[in-house]
Amino acid sequence: MDAIAVTVEGFVEKIVFRNEDNGYTILSLVHDETEITCVGYITVISEGEFIRATGNFTEHPVYGEQLLMDSYEIKEPEDAVSMELYLGSGAIKGIGKALASRIVKKFGEDTFRVIIEEPERLAEVKGISERMAIDIYRQFEEKRDMRNAMMFLQKYNITGNLAVKIFKEYGNRMYEIIRENPYKLAEDITGVGFKTADEIARRIGIEPNSEFRIKAAILYLLMQANTEGHVYLPEPELIARAKNLLMSDEEMVRRQITNLSIEKKVVLADGGTERLVYASVFYYMELNVARMLHDLNIKYDYDPNLLDKRLSQIEKQTNTVLDEQQRIAVYEAVRNGLLIITGGPGTGKTTTINAIIKVFEAEGLDILLAAPTGRAAKRMSEATGYEAKTIHRMLELSKLTQGDGNGYTFERNEYNPLETDVLIIDEMSMVDISLMHALLKAVPVGTRLILVGDVNQLPSVGPGNVLKDIINSHCFNVVMLTKIFRQAEGSDIIVNAHKINAGEQIKLDNKSTDFFMLKRNNAAVITAVIINLVKNKLPKYVDATSFDIQVLTPMKKGELGVEKLNKALQAALNPPSQEKKEKEYNQNIFREGDKVMQIKNNYQLTWEIKSDSGFTVQTGTGVFNGDSGIIKEINFFTESVLVEFDDGRLVEYSFSQLDELELAYAVTVHKSQGSEYSAIVLPILDGPKLLFNRNILYTAVTRAKRCVVIVGSDAMVKFMIDNKNEQNRYSRLCEQIREMADY
């Protein structure tokens, strides 16, 4: 005989346990002065809320009688006690138990009506200003809206953090978007893949073979390809991916590619043997970048005798001697509107940049310096003695108005260009096609643009192969610095980096003072060695803290991937403590004092920089993929995490935004681009051959200032040096530049 369902009403006295990802909740419900343990999946709930729950009682062997909830609804608290509990639970930021008591004492069972209909009256309560009263009303309404949204999304099997993110992205526009185009969720929200959006579409009645669905899938796949570094996909590859995703036939997919082209949402380009399919925005980005580079490439007359004289003075002042390649670089910088300078570590890129700056300074020209990341900009500032900004800050990033999702714009553009005579960009290998396009739009013709970078580093995280494509086009002046300077020759880090890049094997006999190989062949042993190095051995050796030593690994997954290494290093370097608050999220624990990294560009996040006395001295928006910092505070009352980044920016993350952060005791080699560390530790044992290549090893080694320690297999190190295979990126900037040169 089936158990009889029962319905109970009461207020939530305590949330015993809650999984934020799936909404699984254990709570204590007070019903007719009786405490009932309720278990079930609840999208959003706070202590003090009044609920009606339906389900069956069951006997748990440890916890005793429980109500397994089949369904529930949240009701407005109906009595003064429940209202006070709700307000004092932390559900409304800024109201603690004492203030909740004063509010309810003042308004009694009329409290909620006053908050909704006459919020200005809250200012009658001691401790509440008019501004705070409006904020309480706003939060109250938002909570109500969010609860309704959660209940709505639950119908589509979307619960917990994902539901919160959807609501925060769209607000009450969410209903319209889901009804009209659920596939937009896959485009805009991290964590919503095509399959989730497709399931929603199925539930609202969109047919499997509908044009709408196939078009959405094609656009989604092109967007996915962008995250892999591709600017376009060859049509056969796109069709194969679409067939796999949709379970549709080839002809249907091909037809919708053509329709999207007619609608100008994709561009079909001639790839010789096959058509190439671009999302329209990326096709025109590539085209415009090629055009703008040619526009900047104008020639200038300059007296070579005067330049020789200037350089001699600069050499005397700075006590440096430029070699022939460096001199050529300075000459070309003066004579050309566009110049590319490339070279590996120790080849004098910084000395060359400094000489170029001094020459232009003597001419009375304005100079701007920039780099893609905060770390790289800071290094550039230290090396030159001039202020260097991130490209985003230089272009004056600003977020779009609310309702435009995670959109952003730059205040500096073709209508409001940068005001400078010379612009020098460092670490150009990190610049993707989107950022290059935004940068060039803000550089007026007549400005000298000097691009500096190491073409042998890994390409940008974002789509494109900008630096390599510009160099390979052979359309612009490129100076390659190849000579390793005497002071650099004493460093085995630099010597070995060049050998690796040239495909030459390196000595791993540990006779070096800054390059070591510890041979181990077991993942657990390697992990233990890494912990000992980072915690005990290397800090003394390189005169730095454990946090200044970076573990780099080619992989995210596996025994020696980022995920497992971070957990092991966190336990060793920042173990649990009663003095440190922690928050569990997505099977990760974030703890005060943890080293973390931002893993996606978020143009909306606000930051501030404070003085030593605690006053805000600078504010702005935008935190970017690869920015790293330390968790300063976890606040359960405001449900937020405060992170201080390396450049001093303070950023507050809500708990629902924690999927944008990862522990950073260990990071992938890709994520280390543009950064420099006192020492790096590199575990190398086994893994996908595509990730264990020369380019990865070279990039990892060049991140270290004072010491490199490789732990693992010397045979695999040798394999990596021999392995030139890299993931091919679909990019046509090189061809676009050449085609434009032919006109």
- Residue 735: name the closest of 137, 232, 185 by CA: 232
Residue 405 pLDDT exceeds 50: no
Output the pLDDT for position 160: 65
* pLDDT above 90: residue 90: no
Task: Give the pairing type, strands 582-585 and 588-591.
Answer: antiparallel
pLDDT band for position 618 (50/70/90)? Answer: confident
What ranges in 421-546 are assigned the alpha helix state H?
433-441, 466-472, 486-489, 492-502, 523-532, 538-542
Return the pLDDT at 266: 96
Burial of 648: CB neighbours in 10 Å, binned 0-12, 13-18, 19+ = middle
For residues 537-553, give the mean pLDDT: 94
Q: Which pLDDT does position 489 carry in this prediction?
A: 67
Closest CA to 85 of 125, 124, 51: 51
Q: Phi then psi for 656, rounded to 5 degrees?
A: -70, -10
Instruction: Evaluate if pTM is beyond 0.85.
Output: no
Q: Which residue has the higher pLDDT, 149 or 421?
A: 421
Classify each residue of 666-695 as buried b or exposed e, where b means 16 or more C-beta atoms within 10 Å of its C-beta.
Answer: bbbbbbbbbbebbbbbbbbbbbeeebbbbb
| Window from 20-29, 221-230, 248-257, 482-491 with minimum mean pLDDT | 482-491
Helix (H/G/I), strand (E/B), else coil: 187:
helix
Concatenated DSSP letters of 96-132: -HHHHHHHHHHHGGGHHHHHHH-GGGGGGSTT--HHH
State mean pLDDT over 104-112: 91
